[in-house]
Structure 1
Amino acid sequence: MNRSIVKNGSRILLGAGLVFAGISHLSFARKAFKAQVPDWVPLKEEDTVLYSGIAEIALGTALVVAPKRHRGLTGKIAALFFAAVFPGNIAQYTHHRDAFGLDTDAKRFTRLWFQPLLIAWALKSTAQKRCP
């Protein structure tokens, strides 16, 4: 299969996943996302979940529709977003908060390893070829 087809498909799949996650922040999974908000965040849990949902929708849309020349930057911004929300995953683990079927410390700990994969996915699926 052509590498560019796989790369584009991967980028679009990640973007669609972000849009879906953002919509779930604003609707049916709002309570579960509140479990990931660290205690030190200066905003109300509700506001944090809503703002991060809007950011996910915007980032996901950008990943899908950004012109080719902007995809690298869009991927870097998405990777930074994934890094920025990682403390929420850590908080869910360290505070033993159940959400998204993560109802044991082992499951919550395993979830921590997926964030670096999302960062790599964002960067790899949007990487631009360098000119020689």
Structure 2
Amino acid sequence: MKRIIMGIIFFTAGIIHFLKPGKFAGIVPAVIPFKTFIAYFTGVLEVIFGILMLGGKVRNKHLTAMQAFLWAVFPANIYMYTHQRQLGLSHLPKWALLGRLPLQKLMVDMLGDLKK
């Protein structure tokens, strides 16, 4: 069940990167260049991860890559929380943005539970 949940999360998030690339480019921390490219690239990775998870073809090396990916994008979640107003996210409650931070760790742990 964890594999299916994570597959849906990754696949859906990846598709949304292509539907709203500007939103995802906007949460890339200011010091990082090529924001739109990064938005699309991370979207591609998430779609691939989702397909692997949903297709049942996932191996430990894939799970490790997914965990590394989640830690690599973690700064974007911190950036969203610390730059909420500048990013036009004032409509979101502060607690929701803060809640994304431990959610990332939970997802990493769920992936770890799937390792054989």
Bucket of the pairwise TM-score, normalised by the shorter protein: 0.7 to 0.9
Deviation at 1:66?
5.0
1:5-51 residue CA offsets vs partner (Å, 9 max, x unmatched): xxxx2112211221111011001x333323321112121x2211111
- Structure 1 distance, partners of 2:64, 2:48, is 14
- What's 1:13 paired with? 5
**Which of 30, 33, 39 pairs up with 1:42?**
33
- Structure 1 distance, partners of 2:67, 2:88, is 25
Any unmatched runs of 5+ in structure 1?
1-8
- What's 1:83 paired with? 71
Question: What SS class does the counterpart of residue 67 from structure 2 fall into?
Answer: helix
- Structure 1 distance, partners of 2:95, 2:16, is 24
Matched residue type, 2:83: H
Using the size of structure 2 for normalisation, the TM-score is 0.84
Using the size of structure 1 for normalisation, the TM-score is 0.75
- How many residues align? The count is 114
- Structure 1 distance, partners of 2:94, 2:38, is 24
Question: Percentage identity across aligned positions?
Answer: 25
Any unmatched runs of 5+ in structure 2?
none
- Structure 2 distance, partners of 1:98, 1:122, is 32
Matched residue type, 2:70: F
Question: What SS class does the counterpart of residue 115 from structure 2 fall into?
Answer: coil
Deviation at 1:104?
3.4
